[in-house]
Amino acid sequence: MSQTTEQTQYDGLSESEVRLKKLAHYREKGEDAFKYKFDRSHSIKEICEKYAHLESGEKSEDTVILAGRLMAKRGHGKASFGNIADENAAVQYYANIDELGDEVYHDLIHLDVGDIIGIEGKPFVSKRGELSIRLAKFTLLTKSLHSLPEKFHGLQDKETRYRQRYVDLIANPEVRHVFQDRAKIIHFFRDYLHKDNFMEVETPVLQTIYGGASASPFETHHNTLDQKLYMRISLELPLKRLMVGGFERIFEIGRVFRNEGVSYKHNPEYTLLELYQAYTDYHGIMALTETLLSELVKAHTGSTKITYQGTELDFAPPFRRLTMKDALKEYADTDINLDEAGLAKRAKELGCDIPEQYHRGELINLIYDKCVENKLIQPTFIMDHPWETSPLAKRKADDPRYVERFELIINTMEIANAFSELNDPIDQKARFEDQTKAREAGFDETHMTDEDFVTALSYGMPPTGGLGIGIDRVVMLLTDQPSIRDVIAFPHMRDKQI
RNA sequence: GAUCCGGUAGCUCAGCCGGUAGAGCACCUGACUUUUAAUCAGGUGGUCGUGAGUUCGAACCUCACCCGGAUCACCA
């Protein structure tokens, strides 16, 4: 085939069209561009480790067989270089026309960046000191029909990165590390809890009554049962029913769904870890949380410190403990024990938007959100919340206006939420009724009454401490990612034809 | 939901006061037998987010809409 023919036959074609033509040529020659399997002798990482000892210019007589995606090509006439990458590493190959023959060499240099190939050859170290494979043979395993993003800048466009994460993962190797780290973090939590004798359980995503948090649910419908269903907004109530049943240490890592806004720290579906431990209270859970997170950070970085978006965060226990009362005093110069009118006046002075309907708990929360949470950078336990906003937590024995609850705040984000679980069925029923009253008075996002949950508690749940941890946010912190979308493989996006 | 910023070649980005749509990478052709953002020469590739409007003439000005990002509100 003459060169002018090749030039004209590709003239006017887009790159994808050129690749389709190449694919058609393979088919004409009876070659399969989508092979069924390929046996490798090593992963690229194994090769990098095994031949790390080779000196510059030194050759191995071993023949190795590798596979990966062609990430770059550098042609030099009768010799050429390329890079292939597999899941964990990349390596350079070197090829020349003398060793491959005209036809094979021609096929090699007409591969496209993005193609997945198998290569066979001997490891050596190039003049410039780079471990390389001297190519003896190659096989096209999968033809790629789309060109990859430019190699130097990678894929920058956030929209494409999120909508077509597969392209992001190919083009930006550091993105792959984020998801590998995410997997390690989740594995760490599971492993730690199993070793601490917690049992992993699974509870329903589809529920007739949603609960365990203040949030709007997604609604759905079961056709044959003709039943309205909600996607769970938390894991709490089914897990506590299992505690009633007699399990003493359980946990679940699961997706929950909240029909709320989207932001750098909110995705409509996210991953929650909840655990419940019998015969302990929120102090016990606080100690557990502290150990769990500081050990996680140590396992991940080798120290107790991480840097998140330029800020050093220190997870060395003990974390700072601050009651809601002291927090309001320190950060808002406000006495938490003011009456409703006094708190409303203070909230207004502090510039809070006061809703039409409010109660003491709501006002305390408003002041806290406005003045405290956005100041808390180092890991801090905020303790003893007002009872009105915590309908599933046990009241403090010495002051029933507050509950035994803590939230862990890191870098102004709520990372964990925990209570001494309310196990008095009579108080629980009253709390649900208060929620109903609040809803009727115009409060949004109040808890639904769950009669069966009250029934469950009336059989007796031992004293129990419970904890919820937002896994995605922990991953954000440990992988230094600025947005929750960067730690969720397929973050929620509006529909768009692409 | 509100405000601001953005959407131009497969990718990264220019495009001034409204006057024929640009570069680099990628791709095609040629040269080059140790390069690595290879180099050099020549090419292909565009509904400028969508739709209206203003104008002799719109990527550029106006309006509406779509999508994304940031900030805010709700929420974890």
Strand B within 7 A of A191 CB? no
Q: List the A130 CA – B33 C1' distance (angstroms).
A: 18
Q: List the A25 CA – B26 C1' distance (angstroms).
A: 21
Looking at strand B, which nucleotides approach a protein CB closer than 7 A? 1, 6, 10-13, 24-39, 42-45, 66-76
Round the average pLDDT of chain A to a whole number and report it. 93
Closest CA to A280 of A252, A243, A253, A317: A243
Walk across the sheet containing A380-383 and list its strands: A199-200, A249-257, A269-278, A464-470, A413-420, A405-410, A380-383, A320-323
At A322-381, the pLDDT tens digits run 999 999 999 999 999 999 999 999 998 888 888 877 889 989 999 999 999 999 999 999
A146-172: average pLDDT: 92
Query: What amino acid occupies position A53?
Result: H
Q: For residue A373, what is the DSSP state?
A: G
At A184-239, the pLDDT tens digits run 999 999 999 999 999 999 999 999 999 999 888 999 999 999 999 999 999 999 99
**SS in 3 state form for A429-468?**
HHHHHHHHHHHHCCCCCCCCCCHHHHHHHHCCCCCEEEEE
Residues pairing with A251 in the sheet:
A200, A275
Strand B within 7 A of A10 CB? yes
The Cα–Cα gap between A142 and A22 comes to: 12
A124-136: average pLDDT: 94
Neighbours of A249 (CB within 10 A): 17
The Cα–Cα gap between A312 and A377 comes to: 9
pLDDT at A14: 84
Q: List the A64 CA – B73 C1' distance (angstroms).
A: 59
At A434-445, the pLDDT tens digits run 999 888 887 777
Domains of chain A in start order, with CATH, are 3-148 (2.40.50.140), 171-319+378-486 (3.30.930.10)
Q: List the A40 CA – B52 C1' distance (angstroms).
A: 59
Largest alpha-carbon pair distance within chain A? 93
Q: List the A14 CA – B19 C1' distance (angstroms).
A: 30
Strand B within 7 A of A326 CB? no
Closest CA to A416 of A280, A282, A246: A282
Who has greater pLDDT, A224 or A5? A224
Mean pLDDT check: name the lowest of A10-19, A147-156, A482-491.
A10-19
Q: Which residues contact A151 (CB under 8 A, 6 or more apart)?
A: A71, A72, A113
Query: Pairing between strand A116-125 and A64-76?
Result: antiparallel
Q: List the A148 CA – B8 C1' distance (angstroms).
A: 19
pLDDT at A359: 87
Between residue 69 and residue 98 of chain A, the positions with Cβ below 7 Å from nucleic chain B are 72-79, 81, 83, 92, 94, 96-98
Strand B within 7 A of A149 CB? yes
The Cα–Cα gap between A441 and A272 comes to: 31
pLDDT at A5: 45
Strand B within 7 A of A398 CB? no
The Cα–Cα gap between A456 and A392 comes to: 14
- Both tokens of residue A360? 């003491």
Cα-based distances in Å from A413 to A158, A280, A408 = 23, 26, 8
Q: List the A159 CA – B66 C1' distance (angstroms).
A: 14
pLDDT band for A8, please (50, 70, 90 cuts).
low
- Both tokens of residue A111? 């591969």
- Both tokens of residue A19? 């690749």
